[in-house]
Structure 1
């Protein structure tokens, strides 16, 4: 009898586990986009391969003959692409390569502030705050609250573009107003498609949960019936 009771307890625990999983999945938000670390063989970087930081709006540029970038974010994205093309983990190497992108008059700031950042994401924010002008922030904030998803743009690509604009504007991506703006920037067909997809996922989860619960309940009831039958037989013995 002890064995049957243990099995019954196990069945009930499984039922509770399925319920908890369903609740967790139903409240889960869209997973953030994570850039994978490249492990394949890539290019070998030299100092000339590293993009040099200078903006097209600057009256004087520190690296004549090198490409000028339209924005801080444009430069950072180009820097990341070069690092990834060499199959390097940007978390491991940004301290080595990013200073190469900057003119020598920023050396003191690099050592005292930039290199003290723990992660690339933090360094990105510090870099942006250093070089983004007030006018650029105003322009980025205007784009943030007027931008919409392009017709041929994927949801993940648009999310990346939206978050990049948040950084340029100095906005908090967790701000409810920013979140509401992000949702409002989708077209009706896209929202309808997302709703249908989420609904289908939830229906499948609910059906799976119900089916598992029915099976576990049947097993539990059967074990309880067997236990009762054994108890009756034991009581009938002289």
Structure 2
């Protein structure tokens, strides 16, 4: 069966092979995908979104599973004890296309490719600068932003990036295949000012689809639930900003 699928894929052009068994979808369609469905799409990474785990996770040196303890002895879900866990990227990024914004999760390989540094290398840079903290977002993460990309993703609660392509022919092919008729589609779209600080109730109500929009790129640090938005700092220019909190509104787009 696998050889048959590979034979079929080899008959297509490079762009169509990228979308083989991964149908092109608009961002607004991603939330309607079946769990674990693999699809392709187009978008531009805009800025990093803050999360409770920060910009990385720790993994087991033996089996690569996530470390589930917060202090030594470090253990993974397979009960392996790891004295020196590995640090891997896990970065939540707001991706935009045609005015829509969706949270994507970028994993270690793709982050390394876009940033040009491993998570361990970035950790070393931050330690040498005296600033290492999982909730401090280094300016190097901005290197992931601003370039339109073709994505292969799957959806399970959040959109997870499997890989990306920069080739213009692939991007244009997906754009040509993505449906333009959105008259009957209801989806979540960000207002001009959107959530930077949200309660757990807000996050649950929007199925983790709250977005942090600051008109800059990378937030410097995520404060606790009781922090005031007035305390927020942004790494791009280190200025203080007042961020208005609004819930994401479910709207219908009329064409």
**TM-score (ref. length: structure 1):** 0.22
Query: Which structure is larger by alpha-carbon Rg, 1 or 2?
Result: 1
Larger RCO: 1 or 2 (CA < 8 Å, sep 6+): 1
**TM-score (ref. length: structure 2):** 0.21
Q: Greater strand percent: which structure? A: 2
Q: Greater helix percent: which structure? A: 1
